Amino acid sequence: MTSIGFFSGSASSGTTMLAVSTSKLLADMGKRVLHIFTGISSLYSYVEKNNAGSLDDIKSSLVGRSLTEEEIKATAKTTDGIELIASNKSFLMANTFPVDSFEQILNSSRCFDYVVVDAGSDFRTALTISALCYCNKKIVSITQDPNSISNFKELDNDILSSFGDFELVINKYLRDKSLYSKDDIAYLLKRDISCVIPYSQFGSYAQIERKTLIGEKRYRRAVESFIRDCLGEANAS
């Protein structure tokens, strides 16, 4: 089982769309995928539509260190070939989960090929830090916005650099001379850019409709390349 944590280097960087699209394409490849949301904002979009169970449903087992594979399966709801578990419903309760929550969740999810965690952008919560500690692969997305770049630099210095390697992705990318280019951002951050995901004019529509963007060919090709190059899945096409 491979676990992938998606983290936002700044708010509104398109991380949830990238994470859900990745899960959908992996499922289309015949992989068994468990997708877990930890960001509160994610709860009201893709998951709300599909009425998935939430982390609240397994919290008592996490606190009691008694979580089982059967509980994970019973909590998840299958939609579009993906098993979904929503975040906890109260932001105020996010820090009442054990810091080893994702160690327990991942140990109880070995029946899946992939566990994809949309961990959001709030690194003050126990769930986000837990995902950062225990996911095999870590993906951090930013945009070309100067504030996004500045926020990431601060986050990298304060937190991310202490948690090992991660893939840095520029999301919502536009080829525009008025914006920082991929090379500009790599130079400013002194980090390699693993992947670029293009901006889509249909992003707002997809968010309203609570759908992914993989029906758009250019976006789908970019996510397929991400799956091949960053996740090592040679059959993504």
Q: Rounded mean pLDDT of 216-223?
A: 93
Which strands make up the sheet holding 82-85, listed edge to edge?
Answer: 77-79, 82-85, 33-37, 114-118, 2-8, 137-142, 167-173, 195-198
Q: Rounded mean pLDDT of 31-41?
A: 85
CA 172 vs. chain centroid, Å, equals: 15
pLDDT reported for residue 51: 62
211 pLDDT above the threshold of 80? no
CATH for the 2-231 domain, from 3.50.50.60, 3.30.9.30, 3.40.50.150, 3.40.50.300: 3.40.50.300
Q: Output DSSP code: residue 54.
A: B
CB within 8 A of 49, min separation 6: which ones? 210
31 pLDDT above the threshold of 90? yes
Per-residue pLDDT tens over the stretch 49-72:
456 688 999 999 999 999 999 999
Confidence of residue 147 (pLDDT cuts 50, 70, 90): very high
Q: With beta carbons less than 8 A apart as the criterion, state whether 115 and 84 touch.
A: no
Tell me how many helices (H) and strands (E) the chain has.
11, 8
Per-residue pLDDT tens over the stretch 83-107:
999 888 776 677 889 999 999 999 9
41 pLDDT above the threshold of 60? no
CA 229 vs. chain centroid, Å, equals: 17
Per-residue pLDDT tens over the stretch 170-188:
999 999 999 999 999 999 9
47 pLDDT above the threshold of 90? no
CA distance 33 to 3: 10
Give this prediction's pTM. Answer: 0.91
Confidence of residue 23 (pLDDT cuts 50, 70, 90): very high
